[in-house]
Amino acid sequence: MKTTKLLAIASTVVVAVSMMASAHAGGTLDGVKKKGFIQCGINSGVPGFSIANDKGEWSGLDVDFCKAVAAAVFGDTTKVKYTSLTAKERFTALQSGEIDLLSRNTTWTLTRDSNLGISFTGVNYYDGQGFLVNNGVKSAKELDGASVCIQAGTTTELNLSDYFRANNMKYEPITYDKVEETIKGFEEGRCDVLTSDQSQLYALRLQLKEPEKAEVLPEVISKEPLGPSVRQGDEDWFKIVRWTLFAMVEAEELGLTSANIDEKKSSADPSVKRFVGAEEGVGGQGLKLGNEWAYNIVKQVGNYGESFERNVGSGSPLKIERGLNALWSKGGLQYAAPIR
C-alpha cells in the first residue's frame, strides 16, 4: 500500500512539474489577455517619466506608453499594473516573466539587445548622459578628482568611466541603488557631481531644496536612446509593442490628437481612415488586435507629442525642449514606419 501511495505522489509531482513547464510556453499576448491586464515595469521615481502622486497613481512618459499598449490590447488604459523597479532589477524582472513589458528609461545597446534575452522595440526618448554640478563648475573637463554619484547597473556607469579615462582624469564613483539615493548623496555633499541621462538630471534638479544652486552642464557625453523592451522570442508581442510606439508618432504626423480624433474619424483622408481602422484590411488582424487599436491609443492616451508636452515638455515643470525628440519633419529623430 505504502509503495503505491509513494509512487502516486512521485508521479503527481512529475506531472505537475511538466505542466508548469508547458504553461510557460504560451505567448505573452495570450497570457496578458487571460489575466486581463498588462504588468508593466517602470522606474520607481523620475518626474516626467514615471512618478506616483499622493494617491499612488503613476504618470509620466514611460507610464503613458504602458497605458498606450493597454489601450491597443484592451481598449482600456486602466488595465495596467505597475511594478516599480531599480535599474539593477529591471532585466531580471523581464527575463523571468514577472513583467510583460519594460518601459523604464532603458538605453538600447548591443549587449543588452543580444545577450540578455530581451528585445528593444524602438526609441521613445532620445537622451544623452550629462552632469549635474553645483554652481561654479563650467565644463565637464574641470571635474578631475571629483566624487561622482551614480546609479548602479546603468549604462551611465560605463560611459562615465569611458569619459574620464578618455580625458585622462580621475574620479571616485559612489554607486547607489536607487535614483532617490543618488540625488540625496549629491544634496548632502557626498559627491560633487551627479551623472545620469540629461532628462533625468533636469527632473532631479527640481527635487533639490535649492535648485538654483545647481546646474546641468552643457556637455553630453553619450548617446542614450531610451526605449521599451520585451522578452526575446515572442514575435507577436514584440510587434504589438513596436507598433504602439509607431502609432503614437504616426498620429502626431497626421495631426491626430485625443481631442480631435473623433471628429477626424469620418475624414476622407485615406491615411487617417487606415489609422482609425475604418478601412478594411489594414486594421489590427495582423497584430491580433481589434481594428480600432490605434484609434484607442490616440483617443485614450494621445499622440507622442501630446504625451511629451504633458509629461516633460511645456505643459510640465521640466520644460524640456523637443530637440532630438521632435518629428523627423521638424528637425528631430522621431520617425514612424507608415501604418498601411
Partner 1 sequence: MANATPQAAPSKPSLWNDPQKRGILIQVLVLAAIFAFFGFIFYNTLSNYAQRGISTGFGFLNNTAGFGISQTLIPYQESDNYWQVFKVGLLNTLLVAGLGIVTATILGFIVGVARLSKNWLLSTSAAVYIETFRNIPVLLQIVFLYALLLKILPSAKESYSFAEAVFVNKRGFYVPEPIPQAGFDWTIWAFVLAVALVIVLRWIARKVQEKTGQQWPMFWIGVALIIGAPLVTYFMTGRPLEWSLPVLKGFNFQGGIRVIPELVVLWIALSVYTAAFIAEIVRSGIQSVSHGQTEAANALGLRHNQTLKLVVIPQAMRVIIPQLTSQYLNLTKNTSLATAIAYPDLVAVFAGTTLNQSGQAIEIIFMTMMFYLSVSLLISLFMNWYNNKMALVER
Toward partner 1, which CB reaches closer, 106 or 334?
106
Toward partner 1, which CB reaches closer, 13 or 333?
13
Toward partner 1, which CB reaches closer, 7 or 206?
7
Toward partner 1, which CB reaches closer, 46 or 85?
85
Residue by residue, DSSP assigns 122-190 as --SEEE-EEEEEETT---GGG-TTEEEEEETTSHHHHHHHHHHHHTT--EEEEEESSHHHHHHHHHHTS
Return the sign of the alpha-carbon dihedral for residues 303, 308, 310, 311.
positive
Shortest Cβ distance from residue 24 to partner 1 (Å)?
A: 7
Phi, psi (deg, nearest 5) at residue 228: -75, 150
Toward partner 1, which CB reaches closer, 17 or 333?
17
Shortest Cβ distance from residue 21 to partner 1 (Å)?
A: 6
Q: CA of 326: how far to CAs of 14, 66, 104, 124, in Å?
A: 56, 21, 20, 11
Query: Which has the closest alpha carbon to 97: 37, 20, 39?
Result: 39
Toward partner 1, which CB reaches closer, 154 or 334?
154
Distance (Å, whole) CA 112 – CA 67: 24
Distance (Å, whole) CA 59 – CA 80: 12
Q: Are 107 and 43 in contact (CB under 8 A)?
A: no
Shortest Cβ distance from residue 27 to partner 1 (Å)?
A: 13
Shortest Cβ distance from residue 105 to partner 1 (Å)?
A: 15
Q: CA of 209: how far to CAs of 82, 188, 212, in Å?
A: 29, 11, 9
Shortest Cβ distance from residue 135 to partner 1 (Å)?
A: 14
Shortest Cβ distance from residue 144 to partner 1 (Å)?
A: 6
Helical axes 235-254 vs 293-300, angle rounded to 10°: 60
Can you give the binding site for partner 1, defined by CB under 8 A? 2-3, 6-7, 10, 13-14, 17-18, 21, 24, 87-88, 91-92, 95, 111-112, 114-117, 143-147, 152-154, 157-158, 160-162, 164-165, 171-177, 181, 184-185, 188-190, 192, 231-233
Toward partner 1, which CB reaches closer, 101 or 301?
101
